[in-house]
Chain A
């Protein structure tokens, strides 16, 4: 790696940290810094343009857009964090198990993982919404059932590499505990790449769920989820663009921050590809 790309990595990484960190702070502080109740109608005149009173204007029900974007961020980051925790844990563990298990189990697992990696999460979520009725929880469950696969694939290949290393082979020959070996040899190799992937997938997760809410299948009213807000704002794209600007910008910046974070981490940790 040239000195230049290291520098680039740091810039990317820092940008990612600042944006993501800022978003988390804003989201956590939402109840205190949001000027109004996000569901309260008629706090301002309906569809009023941004003003000192309502920095991002109001929507068609006279709700404060800024407050809604902030509370929406709280919701978005919370469910993203929870879902991410679930898929990272499940994917890493299952992938490691597949690598450590025998050949036939590994081959079956690889087949399933490969298929899931190439399966559109949106469609599984769509099916779930169709079967269990549209709601944020249902849609998230559907998305999670697919999105653990990239983690499993990564974890599987890295654990295999680790177990095949000379030191691991020696340890195994000397009768070392397999679990301990996984933790000692595999985990340090795993940490970095998993983190990189998590940052990238978090962005994906947000976009997919916002898209489903945009279709009316995710968050239900009066939830200020960003995708749902964008759906509402679409009506007034030209006459009241502030309705789209707020949540649109929020999605953009958050996903941008997470992608920068992932790319930056990749450069810093010198993770391939």
Chain B
């Protein structure tokens, strides 16, 4: 099982790397010109140095070799963490990304945590009386929430918080600045998540194995924890995976509006300057993160679903 999981992960990563390589090489123009000529790398170099380093780069990239060989060379460099230097700063892209990644991850996890917390509370309110008023409010809210774009709530939220609560508009990634973007990002996902959680709990509660356990005389708490809650978390898990994707995308806008020093805002600045090494590194990091989330959801689901769970136990 584990071996299979690992090989599928590896093949996924390899397939993704081919796509990323194709995307990067499909940029109009000569790769070295893109990296150098059209670029500010030469802003930091004398003309002689510029010519020399272009030739070095050409050899490094193996541009005279076949595309397959070029891909292998490229992959080797990426795997060893060599993303090159930023055009704008002349600094290593890897260290600049590493510098900003904690802020982004911190924001992402906080938003996710808030989202789960608020969803659980809302679902609890709704599930107390299925098809009751709270249930309908929830549905209307979820439709409305889908219609409000993050950039609108972010802009309004920032303005309000700065004037009413003295929210620090710019600065480092501190807790005093974290809460607002996290709330903005979380709020948009709550209604959908709460709805799925509610539906899932109601559905699993009616399942035969839950009823059977109850009939066997198990305590209600045991029934809920072992037979209802765990399986009902599976669809929530799927949704959490999807929500992570939405959060990763939404983070870009939120980071820009809140001047949050994360990778999203960094990427947007890099695009403004056509800083290709940074753009490439950002894409690679994001693809890796998406794959990790995707696989974790997969594994999580296997563990949560009683049917696959039993199978796993059997094979182990």
**Which residues does A use to contact B, with CB under 8 Å?**
2, 4, 8, 12, 111-112, 114-115, 117-123, 126-134, 200, 203-204, 207-208, 210-211, 214-217, 227, 230, 234, 237-238, 244, 248, 251-253, 255-256, 259-260, 263, 273
Q: What's the dominant secondary structure at chain A's contact region?
A: helix
B246 touches A120 (CB 8 A): yes
Assembled-state Cα–Cα distance A12/B248 (Å) = 31
**How far apart sit A217 and B273, CA to CA, in the bound complex (Å)?**
12
CB atoms of B271 and A130 under 8 A apart: yes
Instruction: Decide: A215 and B256 in contact? CB cutoff 8 A.
Output: yes
When the two chains form their complex, are residues A238 and B159 in contact, meaning their CB atoms are under 8 A apart? yes
A114, A123, A126, A238: which has the most chain B beta carbons within 10 Å? A123
CB distance from A46 to the nearest CB of B (A): 21
Cα–Cα distance between A105 and B241 once the two chains are bound (Å)? 24
> In the complex, A130 Cα to B298 Cα: how many Å?
31
Does the CB pair A256–B249 fall under 8 Å?
A: no
CB <8 Å contact, B290 and A118: yes
Q: Are A215 and B270 also in contact (CB < 8 A) when A118-B244, A234-B155, A263-B143 are?
A: no
**Bound state CA distance, A216 and B273, in angstroms?**
13
Q: Shortest CB–CB separation between residue A225 and chain B, in angstroms? A: 13
C-alpha spacing A165/B174, complex, angstroms: 57
Q: With a CB–CB cut-off of 8 A, which chain B residues contact A126?
A: 252, 267-268, 271, 282
- In the complex, per-residue mask of B202-244: 1 if CB is within 8 Å of any chain A CB, else 0: 0000000000000000000000000000000000000001101
Q: Which of B20-28, B65-73, B81-89 lies at the interface with chain A? A: B20-28
- Does chain A have a CB within 8 A of B40? no
Q: How far is the CB of A103 from chain B (nearest CB, A)?
A: 15
The residues of B that contact A208 with a CB separation of less than 8 Å are 249
Shortest Cβ gap from A205 to chain B (Å) = 12
In whole angstroms, how far apart are the Cα atoms of A260 and B146 in the complex?
10
Interface residue from B149, B244, B267, B290 paired with A210 (Cβ < 8 Å): B149
Q: Per-residue CB proximity of B241-279 to A under 8 Å, as 1/0?
A: 110111011101100100000000001101110101001
B242 with A118: CB separation less than 8 A: yes
**Which of B149, B156, B241, B291 touches A207 (beta carbons < 8 Å)?**
B149
User: Which residues of B in the span 283-316 have a Cβ within 8 Å of any Cβ on A?
Assistant: 283, 286-287, 290-291, 293-294, 297-298
Known A-B contacts A111-B8, A127-B279, A215-B268; the reply to A260 vs B143 at CB < 8 A is yes
CB of B267 within 8 A of CB of A115, answer no
Contact B146 A217 (CB under 8 A): no
- Chain A proximity of B220: nearest CB distance (Å): 27
- Contact A119 to B271, CB < 8 A, known contacts A211-B253, A255-B147: no
Taking the closest CB of chain A, its distance from the CB of B251, in whole angstroms, is 9
Evaluate contact between B252 and A215: CB separation under 8 angstroms: yes
0/1 interface trace, chain B 117-159, chain A, CB 8 Å (1 if under): 0000000000000010000100100011011111110011001
Task: Report Cα–Cα, A123/B16, bound state, in Å.
Answer: 14
Q: What is the minimal beta-carbon distance from B244 to any residue of chain A, in angstroms? A: 7
12 examples of A-B residue contacts, CB within 8 angstroms: A8-B136, A115-B290, A118-B290, A119-B287, A123-B252, A127-B282, A128-B23, A131-B27, A132-B28, A200-B146, A215-B256, A252-B152
Shortest CB distance B302–A (Å)? 14
CA distance A217 to B152 in the complex (A): 17
Instruction: Give me 4 other A-B pairs in contact (C-beta within 8 A), A120-B246, A203-B147 excluded.
Output: A4-B131, A227-B149, A244-B152, A260-B143
